[in-house]
């Protein structure tokens, strides 16, 4: 059976094939960049129009008391099952960078007497920037260690370790439960960056005993460009969580306009400023695609897509250097090293295959299982073959 026949057969048998119709995607495009920006679910445009015309335009300021104000916690509870968390432990708002600052600054306060922050050595750049910023304000030092070596690197000096669940360049999946357990054995806290795993890879935060986590919502959750991030604070730490960016939205009585700050109950204290309602309610609409289908189904298909992509590469582009683990210790992307990768990525885009480039020589292909087809990954492999001629 040829690769094209195999792709057609897999697409015909795909239990998630119907989900693609829920997204506003050009059928002629092979969109393989959902690990940077998810495709828009069709329901979003209609829902946002309602927010603008009826809620903002008709109800005006009354809408704050008709659901807007509670949206960060409500939408956090919608995301919670996708990261293995019970309700009341996630809140949506601000950016990933701002939320990282909050949780790292709070984490070092929870471990007084320890002066070190460990950071995943291949972390997404903003994580390192924020860690250095927190360290400069608190007197801590930052030590960068490859994620696979963190378990052996933690010492009695370590207050917290910041780790990416999925490596943003290679797509390697790090062992969240075992790294968390190793940190806890040495008395350190675990902060996880879930940006490249939420909506793609199960994380089981509660079961693994994770302390704090952050994640964005514009990749595999399809919340839209710049959609608000989220924070997870395990229930056991909520009473002691000291908000380093206290703002009126996290106040226990935000509309009392008190001169003194008293943090809200539970996860609400993690809020800082006024919620970005248009982006937040666009995300709320995007999450409707999870009302049917499960993360387990998405993960199974994404792994199968990756396996098929690897077989296509092996046959069509023999010798290509794949950076992503060939076993299933990977997120929902395949990354390859390629000479002049930036030019090659642009050439594929001209052919209707949209992936992305990471310097110096990496081409990344995201496998968003709700809308990526087996024919899409075959088309990407065929495009790479054309570039070698």
Annotated active-site positions, please? 124, 193, 218-219, 364
State phi, psi for 347 to the nearest 5 degrees: -65, -40
CA distance linking residue 385 with residue 314, whole number of Å: 11
- How many beta carbons lie within 10 A of that of residue 214, not counting itself? 28
40 DSSP 8-state letter: P
Q: Alpha-carbon distance 381 to 379, whole Å?
A: 5
Q: Which residue has the tokens 């642009």?
A: 346
Tell me phi and psi for residue 33, to 5 degrees. -130, 25
227 contact partners, CB below 8 Å, separation of at least 6: 216, 217, 218, 221, 279, 280, 282, 283, 286
Cβ(107)–Cβ(137) below 8 Å: no
SS3 26: coil
């Amino acid at each position: 059976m040829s690769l094209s026949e195999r792709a057609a057969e897999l697409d015909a048998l795909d239990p998630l094939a119907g989900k693609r119709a829920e997204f506003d995607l050009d059928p002629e495009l092979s969109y393989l960049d959902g690990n940077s920006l998810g495709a828009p679910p069709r329901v979003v445009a209609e829902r946002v129009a309602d927010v603008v015309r009826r809620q903002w335009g008709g109800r005006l300021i009354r809408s704050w008391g008709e659901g807007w104000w509670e949206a960060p916690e409500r939408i956090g509870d919608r995301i919670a099952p996708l990261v293995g968390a019970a309700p009341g432990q996630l809140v949506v708002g601000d950016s990933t960078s701002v939320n990282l600052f909050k949780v790292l600054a709070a984490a070092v306060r929870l471990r007084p007497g320890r002066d070190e922050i460990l950071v995943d050595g291949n972390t997404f750049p903003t994580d390192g920037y924020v860690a250095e910023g927190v360290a400069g304000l608190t007197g801590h030092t930052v030590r960068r260690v490859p994620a696979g070596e963190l378990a052996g690197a933690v010492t009695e000096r370590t207050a917290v370790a910041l780790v990416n669940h999925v490596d943003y360049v290679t797509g390697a999946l790090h062992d969240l439960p075992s790294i968390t357990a190793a940190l806890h054995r040495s008395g350190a806290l675990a902060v996880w960056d879930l940006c490249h795993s939420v909506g793609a890879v199960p994380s089981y935060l509660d079961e693994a005993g994770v302390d704090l986590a952050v994640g964005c919502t514009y990749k595999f959750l399809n919340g839209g460009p710049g959609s608000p991030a989220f924070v997870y604070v395990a229930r056991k730490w909520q009473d002691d969580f000291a908000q380093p960016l206290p703002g009126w939205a996290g106040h226990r009585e935000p509309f009392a306009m008190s001169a003194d700050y008293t943090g809200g109950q539970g996860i609400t204290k993690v809020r800082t400023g006024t919620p970005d309602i248009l982006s937040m309610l666009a995300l709320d609409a995007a999450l409707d695609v999870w009302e049917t289908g499960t993360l387990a189904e998405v993960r199974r298909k994404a792994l199968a897509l990756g396996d098929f992509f690897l077989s296509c590469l092996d046959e069509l582009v023999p010798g290509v250097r794949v950076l992503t683990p060939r076993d299933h210790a990977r997120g929902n992307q395949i990354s390859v090293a390629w000479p002049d990768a930036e030019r090659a990525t642009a050439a594929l885009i001209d052919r209707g295959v949209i992936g992305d480039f990471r310097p110096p020589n990496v081409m990344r292909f995201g496998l968003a299982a709700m809308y990526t087809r087996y024919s899409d990954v075959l088309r990407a492999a065929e495009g790479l073959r054309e570039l070698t001629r």
